[in-house]
Amino acid sequence: MTIDIKAPQHSSSELSYVGRWFKQVGDTVTLHEPIVEIETVGTTLEVPAPATGVLSLITLTDGQSVRSGDRLGTIAEY
């Protein structure tokens, strides 16, 4: 089963960007482990893994714009 990694909801109406990924496709991730940063004007949010498994897909890469709720990637659960 795959689980989507979603951009968090935030109160800012500013456009957000993917800052950097801490993990790469094929890396093991643990539930709640920070795996990617989202940057807005003056704020950086760490997005935690929604499940334990393997990062199977990165949908939005470093520097790409992102809105609340966008799929950032997927995790293949064990």
> Which residue ranges make up each domain of the chain?
2-77
Residue-wise burial string across 34-67, b where 16 or more C-beta atoms lie within 10 A, e elsewhere: ebbbbbbeeeebebebbbebbbbebebeeeeebe
Question: Contact, 48 vs 36, CB < 8 A?
Answer: no
pTM of the model: 0.89
- The pLDDT value recorded for residue 78 is 83
- The pLDDT value recorded for residue 49 is 97
User: Average model confidence (pLDDT) for the chain?
Assistant: 93
- The pLDDT value recorded for residue 48 is 97
User: At the topology level of CATH, where does 2-77 sit?
Assistant: OB fold (Dihydrolipoamide Acetyltransferase, E2P) (2.40.50)
Based on its alpha-carbon atoms, the radius of gyration of the chain, rounded to whole angstroms, reads 12
Q: What is the mean pLDDT of residues 22-26?
A: 98
Distance separating alpha carbons of residues 75 and 43, to the nearest angstrom: 25
